[in-house]
Structure 1
Amino acid sequence: MNPSNILIAIAAGAASALLFAGLVFQSGSAITLALVAPIPIFIASLGWGSLAGFVAAVVSAGIVAAISGLVTGGVLLFAAMSLPAAIAGHLAGLARPVVEDHPSVPVERPNGPGAQQPSLLWFPVERILFALAAMAALACIGLGWYFDYDVAALQPEIVETLRQSGNAGEMGDAEFEAVASLLLSLIPLVQPAVLTLVLCLGLYIAAWITRMSARLPRPKDDLPSALHLPPVALFVFAAGLAASFLSGPVEQIALVACGAFGMAFTLVGLGQLHLRTRGRSNRWLLLFVSYAAIMILSFPLFVFTCLGIFDTIKRMRPASPA
């Protein structure tokens, strides 16, 4: 890696660390800034190579640990965002020459001066999405173990926080404990889902920025038609759903898998919405109503999760003979 790439990697790592540092110091705008922390690392990996992405990931974690004086802050950033961003950027840059074109294989066919170069088969979008969901799940499981996530130990703290809220006089001890139990039971499900969404959106935004700067070698993917999940994702989700009825650590791990891959299936379902509304005169109205319903009610997310699962099952069926 040449010196300019090293400087780019260090700058990207520093930018990611500064965006995430507010969460460690518990500032008011910390959450919003932390959500975009993976984007500089994505950009470094997509535009300047995989090594630049991994260097940026290490630099970001080191800077957070240094300025906060807390190793846990660096571990949190590295495991949840920096390392997954570097790995996903590496996967997005993988390609191999295609000797013989096949009608079912998506390839890049160069034009102009580069026409003599062989066509390239790029790492499939569906495998990148699977990797992001898997890394989000593994990160949440690892961080839960590292920070010793324990529902029984955290419940008194949540109850005390609820008592100090403005509605403390309207609820009794039983209500406080019920709400605290509900919140703690949702964390293993919601946290990996949010992390999966953050990583996917970060990769999309970073690819758009890198392409605008003419640094992205990968051709633009038609996401609505390319956004799928491999069959193994369905088995992981089904196994997590079945294991979630158990108790103890197995239940927590199963909920993490359901949250991460449930969000991945939801993104596939949303991709199907964009694909199936193409060419319709009321396309933008349908998209607006769908996303507005998701923002206001949240329940429609389940509909798109089911649509993503249906798409995966449909693709598992053998193609009917012509």
Structure 2
Amino acid sequence: MQKSAILVSIAAGLASALLFAGLIGQAAGGLLLPLLTPLPIFIASLGWGSVAGFVSVAVAATAVSAATGSLMVSIPLLVAMGIPAAWIGHLAGLSRLRSDIPAPANDARPALDWYPLSRILMAIVGAAIAACVILGWIIGFNPQEFGPVLAEALGSQAALGPDSEAQLQELGALVVRLVPFVQPALLVAMLAGLLYLAAALTRASGKLPRPRDDIPSAAGLPRIALPIFAGALAFSFLDGLVGLLGAVVAGAFGMAFTLVGLAAMHRRTRGMAARGLLLFSAYAAILLLSIPLFAFLILGAVDVARSGTAPEGKPS
């Protein structure tokens, strides 16, 4: 590693540790800051190489452990944010020479094939699934146990009658039942969004070797994702460990298909006079209602079923 890469790795690791510390210290914005924890690691990996990304993860975990005096505190950082960010950043930086184009005779850059976005998205899904399964195993997540605990916590806020207590029990059971779906879905969205932001920032600094991807045209998933999602969704209705695993896999793939559907919307509205209004209305509806996400999930699944990955196109 060059000296500059080492310095960037250390700085990125310390920045990630500070962002993650917002959750530990329960400071103002403590729920938001940890969501940005992978961003410095992504930037280090994309701009200064894979080794820099993994070194920044080690620095972040070491800083958090040293500050708290506990190795266990750094496990969520490593499992859910650090290692996935470094690994995904590594994949985004992979390339190979194109065999169909002769190597340039001058000092011009050779033509390269970069790791496709569809496989990067698949890797994000895999990382989210692995992170949720590992963290769930560590905390011993059990819906039958966590439901009553959540209901009791909600009920302690006010004096409730028997009917209200029963309703809180049902609400607690429902929320805990949804956690295995929602947690991996949010993690997929977070990693994908921060990867996009990190690429934009690194490109603006002139350090990103990968050319700009036409995301609406290149985003997609391998067709194998469809039967995996369908099978996981079916298993999620079962009780026990199998149902939990099915829910985690279904939640992660569901968000991935939703992102593909959003990319398809951007691609299909190109050239339309009212494109800006359509995109604004779609995202406003998602923020206000969330229900339109299911429509984009279906659109993404149909898009993958038709093409496997979206066709190539020119950036807008």
**Which position in structure 2 is the counterpart of 1:281?**
273
Tell me the secondary structure at the aligned position of residue 110 of structure 2: coil
- Structure 2 Cα separation of the partners of residues 93 and 183 of structure 1: 39
**Which position in structure 2 is the counterpart of 1:99?**
99
- Is the CA contact (8 Å cut-off) linking 2:96 and 2:112 kept in structure 1? yes
- Structure 2 Cα separation of the partners of residues 121 and 22 of structure 1: 39
**Which position in structure 2 is the counterpart of 1:55?**
55
- Structure 2 Cα separation of the partners of residues 36 and 58 of structure 1: 17
**Which position in structure 2 is the counterpart of 1:125?**
117
CA deviation digits over 1:19-43, x for unaligned, max 9?
0111122334111101111000000
Tell me the secondary structure at the aligned position of residue 121 of structure 1: strand
Match of residue 196, structure 1, among 188, 191, 199? 188
CA deviation digits over 1:38-80, x for unaligned, max 9?
0000000000000000011111122112212332320001100
**Which position in structure 1 is the counterpart of 2:258?**
266
1:156 Cα deviation (Å)? 2.8
TM-score (norm 1): 0.91
What pairs up with 1:137-216 in 2 under 5 angstroms? 137-165=129-157, 168=160, 172-216=164-208
Amino acid aligned to 2:249: A
- Structure 1 Cα separation of the partners of residues 308 and 194 of structure 2: 29
Amino acid aligned to 2:167: E
- Structure 1 Cα separation of the partners of residues 245 and 26 of structure 2: 27
**Which position in structure 2 is the counterpart of 1:105?**
none
- Is the CA contact (8 Å cut-off) linking 1:134 and 1:261 kept in structure 2? no
CA deviation digits over 1:220-248, x for unaligned, max 9?
00000001011122122112112112210
CA deviation digits over 1:243-283, x for unaligned, max 9?
11221011111100011110010000000010111111100
- Is the CA contact (8 Å cut-off) linking 2:220 and 2:308 kept in structure 1? no
- Structure 2 Cα separation of the partners of residues 235 and 85 of structure 1: 27
Shift of the 211–157 alpha-carbon distance from structure 1 to 2, 3 Å rule, reads same
Q: Which runs of 5+ in 2 are unaligned?
A: 312-316
1:113 Cα deviation (Å)? 6.9
- Structure 2 Cα separation of the partners of residues 125 and 168 of structure 1: 51
- Structure 2 Cα separation of the partners of residues 67 and 179 of structure 1: 37
Matched, 1:238 2:205: no
Tell me the secondary structure at the aligned position of residue 149 of structure 1: coil
**Root-mean-square deviation over aligned CA pairs:** 2.1
Equivalent pairs counted in the alignment come to: 310
Tell me the secondary structure at the aligned position of residue 204 of structure 1: helix
Amino acid aligned to 1:151: P
Shift of the 166–209 alpha-carbon distance from structure 1 to 2, 3 Å rule, reads farther
**Which position in structure 2 is the counterpart of 1:293?**
285
Tell me the secondary structure at the aligned position of residue 251 of structure 1: helix
- Structure 2 Cα separation of the partners of residues 306 and 71 of structure 1: 42
Q: Spell out structure 1 runs of 4+ moving beyond 6 A.
A: none
Shift of the 224–22 alpha-carbon distance from structure 1 to 2, 3 Å rule, reads same
Q: Percent identity?
A: 48
- Structure 1 Cα separation of the partners of residues 94 and 287 of structure 2: 35
Instruction: Please say which of residues 294-303 and 56-65 is displaced more in the overlay.
Output: 56-65
Shift of the 194–316 alpha-carbon distance from structure 1 to 2, 3 Å rule, reads closer
CA deviation digits over 1:168-203, x for unaligned, max 9?
569622111000000100110000000110100110
- Structure 1 Cα separation of the partners of residues 62 and 233 of structure 2: 37
TM-score (norm 2): 0.93
Amino acid aligned to 1:310: V
- Is the CA contact (8 Å cut-off) linking 1:96 and 1:122 kept in structure 2? yes
